[in-house]
A and B are shown apart, each in its own frame.
Chain A
Amino acid sequence: MSNVSFTELDPFNRAFFETYLSKMRFLEEDWGFAKHVDPSYYGSLLLYTKGRFAIMFSFELRDNRVYLRMQQVDTAIPDVFPPEAFPDVYSRIQDPLFELFLRLPLREEYQQFFSKAERKRLEQLIELAVVQRDVEAARAVLEKEAEFHAYILRKYQPQILQVVEAASAESGEA
């Protein structure tokens, strides 16, 4: 979808797009990625691409959560996980960005980024967002999680861009 009017979206998907488009502006302005959006009621997608690489944010309406993934756009990611338990499936994947993403210590980073009190507060907000359908609570959760995602991307920027730019140079892309 090329032209999206946020007023046509439900309040939860709108909160997702407004929050993430704002917090991830640096991907376009500083990193040179192109932005794509694909709204869908139960789960919208926000995608940033550069060459054949993508950074994806996938929104899950029912849990008010956002999944982050980095990969080549043409890589079919298997549903089974973790890779060491399904070596035959994962051995077929040749995707340096996805391999880097799998190595990121997301859980540990999350524990360090948010204090125990902040995590407890987030749990309360999540409950309000999901059970009470409280849009402001949903937005507050999305804001916090977008801040964390932005922190992760900035922290690992050198490694991410190294993969993207090395592959672009190999293929002769600008």
Chain B
Amino acid sequence: MLAVGSEWGGYATLVPTGGARKAARAAADEASEQLGRQGARQASRELKPVVIGENMRERVVPFAQQKEYLTINDFVSNWSMEANAAWIRRMMREGRRIIDIGPDFYGRHAGLREVSCHLHRHAYALERYLLKGYPNYERAFVRIRTPRGIGGGVPGLSRPAGSGLIIEPFVP
């Protein structure tokens, strides 16, 4: 008989000695998964949600501040595509609610170039790809078809304005 530790006691199994190590590993994996799922459910209730979307400065961060949620800004201080992907995976492992505020439809109109849909060079596209099927994903934006193409956005969200924009004049 193989004892698999008290917390995994329920997963201990009677196995022939030769397969003990393999069975223990399988039991441990199953237990980890089970605990992981429980942890994720618990985390989704306790950990702050995170916000994703295009345009960190004008959309993602203000939306998160308004709701007291977090963004990648609160976790990753040296950005790269790899760090971005690792961050999303971590948020999923932790079972956090992930709020998607979507593309910057206005920015796409005013932008100089088409936003790339290639996952390897567009962080938001990569995030969306990684989040496919994630149960704690929530979409906060609308998307509509217009004569000018695709439009939409987050109803009720405004870009920061007012005195907050007026900073002291720059002194080189």
Contacts and interface: CB of A to CB of B under 8 A. Distances in A.
Interface of A: 1-4, 34-38, 40-45, 47, 49, 54, 56, 58-63, 65, 67-69, 71, 73-82, 84-85, 101, 106-107, 110, 119, 122-123, 126-127, 130-131, 133, 145, 148
A67 B111 contact: yes
Nearest to A101: B110
A147 B169 CA distance: 24
A21 B29 CA distance: 56
B113 A122 contact: yes
A4 B172 CA distance: 7
Contact of A2 (B71, B121, B161, B170): B170
Given A42-B57, A81-B105, 7 more contacts: A43-B56, A43-B61, A47-B167, A59-B57, A79-B153, A79-B158, A106-B109
A36 B157 contact: no
B115 interface: yes
B161 A77 contact: yes
Contacts of A68: 110
| Interface majority SS (helix, strand, loop, mixed), chain A | mixed
Contacts of A61: 56, 79
B111 to A, nearest CB: 7
A65 B59 contact: no
A2 B79 contact: no
Nearest to B115: A63
B152 interface: yes
13 contacts: A2-B169, A36-B170, A45-B57, A58-B57, A58-B58, A62-B84, A73-B162, A74-B163, A75-B161, A106-B109, A107-B109, A123-B113, A126-B121
